[in-house]
Amino acid sequence: MKILVTGAAGFIGSHLCEKLLMDPNNEVTGVDTFIGPTSETLKKQNLAALAVHPRFTFKQADLLTVDLDRMLQEQDIVYHLAGMPGVRSSWGKEFGPYVTNNIVATQLLLEAAKNKPIEKFIYASTSSVYGDILGKVAENATPSPLSPYGITKLTGEHLCNVYRISYNIPVVTLRFFTVYGPRQRPDMAFHRFIAQVLKGEPLTIYGDGTQSRDFTYISDCVDGIASVIYRGNLDGQTINIGGKERASINDVIRLIEHLTRKKAKLNYLPKISGEPKHTWADISNARALLGYNPMITLQEGLSKEIEYIKTIYTL
């Protein structure tokens, strides 16, 4: 299969490309424009193994300006992971790039796909579309985003749905729950916490640390994403991709202390607007439709991320 992955130099995108290339029948074209909180240097490191792969082609291009009609020629599958990430930075005057990169770019890609024989168009969404829901959340819950970021991702979902209805684009939507592991963005909590502990710097915690998340290790996440192309009867489905374990932020910090054998200096700051108190994925659909079964424990996943972070900082 010929597969296009947007956001290929990012955290999830680079791991996904590597996973897809494990199938000798796949040829992958990756696209990225090196925006967002991850530096261009780190993103190029993410691509290092892919760059020498004979069935991988990389294109540095902006979805807002590139000839998408030409780019989608002969592609069987589209994975749309590109976008502007982050809840905290989506407020105020920073909202503009979220609109263009998460909404406009998605619409342009759908326009280019509508007259192509695409077999599947997989849209990467987020648990941020749900808002603050108590207990396990299933895909039929009414979305109620708490942040501008969440609103732009939900808008992307709606765009995908109307193009599916009007132009028969075979859309599958995946909602990710707090993905972590090697190559995680520097602005994300685990990356920040680990780097701060290793450097002996205070940890910045927004809120009291009792907030909890459904943490999804990267290899589990990409197993779920990659499996979509091998499964039938997914047209129009929305599927949660959650992890093996939930934990509070305070629990995570204690585990990082244990794994690094360093005591954390804690600096609690006021809660930031837009963040739910808890997230918890009901992954029944993913199990039934994708055969999804997350395997990596939080301790194992954090240990792998700690080893990665040691390689990218001077400690």
251 within a domain of the structure (yes/no): no
141 within a domain of the structure (yes/no): yes
Rg (CA), the chain: 19
* Structure-token match 């930031």, residue found: 272
Range of the structural domain that residue 230 is part of: 2-180+216-243+278-294
Query: Is the alpha carbon torsion for 250, 252, 258, 261 positive or negative?
Result: negative
Residue 184 has pLDDT above 90, yes or no: yes
* Phi and psi torsions of 61, nearest 5°: -155, 150
30 within a domain of the structure (yes/no): yes
The whole-chain average pLDDT of the chain stands at 96
CA distances from 70 to 8, 79, 115, 262, 287 (A): 18, 16, 12, 52, 36
99 within a domain of the structure (yes/no): yes
Tell me the pLDDT tens digit for each residue of 252-274. 999 999 999 999 999 999 988 88
Looking at the structure of the chain, the number of domains it has is 1
Please give the DSSP secondary-structure letter assigned to residue 101: I
Give residue 209's pLDDT band: very low, low, confident or very high (50, 70, 90): very high
> Measured between alpha carbons, how far is 131 from 250 in angstroms, rounded to an integer?
21
48 within a domain of the structure (yes/no): yes
Residue 166 has pLDDT above 70, yes or no: yes
Q: Give the type of residue at 265.
A: K
Query: pTM surpassing 0.95?
Result: yes
51 within a domain of the structure (yes/no): yes
Domain of residue 70, CATH code: 3.40.50.720
105 within a domain of the structure (yes/no): yes
Check residue 311 and give its pLDDT.
94
Check residue 273 and give its pLDDT.
86
Please, what's the b/e burial string for 23-39 (b: 16 or more CB within 10 A of its CB; e: otherwise)? eeebbbbbbbbebbebe
16 within a domain of the structure (yes/no): yes
Q: Where are the alpha helices (DSSP H) in the chain?
A: 11-20, 40-46, 48-51, 68-71, 95-98, 105-113, 148-167, 189-199, 218-227, 249-260, 284-290, 298-312
Residues carrying an active site annotation: 149
Check residue 282 and give its pLDDT.
98
